[in-house]
Amino acid sequence: MMRRVRAAAWTVLSTLLLTVPAMAFQPPTGQEQFVPAKSLPQTEQMPAGPLLLTAYAFIWVAVAFYVWTIWRRLNKVEQEMRALAQKTSRR
């Protein structure tokens, strides 16, 4: 009988000892309702500077890429013209 009481007491005690820290590490309860806000704090607002720089850099990259494509296409055509001229002169 005493052994059973002691076992029950140990079970209750160990359950309590494990439950308290387990409860302490539980995540906070889920949000029950959303609270609207008219403005964001300064730290959370999207910075305008990087957007401006990205926009400006995009123009440079787009124009540079386009110039490169013209140069590449022109080189190809002129190479073909030279090859054709050589072929003709050999005859």
Partner 1 sequence: MRKLFVPVLIVVAAMLAYSPFMIAGADYESSMGIISKILYFHAPSGMVMLLSAMVCGIASAIYLWRKSPGADRLAIAAAELTALFGLIVIVTGPMWAKKAWGIWWDWEPRLTMSFVGWLISLSYLFVRKYAGPGSDKLGAALAVFGSVNVPFIYVSVNIWRTLHPKTTVVPTLPPGMRGPFWFSALTLFLLYLLLLNARLHLERQRTALDELYLAEEDRS
Task: Note whether 4 binds partner 1 by CB under 8 A.
Answer: no
The single-letter DSSP state of residue 39 is: S
d(CA 55, CA 48): 11
Task: Note whether 64 binds partner 1 by CB under 8 A.
Answer: no
d(CA 79, CA 86): 11
Give min distance, CB of 11 to partner 1, in A: 58
Residues in touch with partner 1 (CB under 8 A): 46, 48-49, 51-52, 54-56, 58-59, 62-63, 66-67, 70, 73-74, 77-78, 80-81, 84-85, 87-88
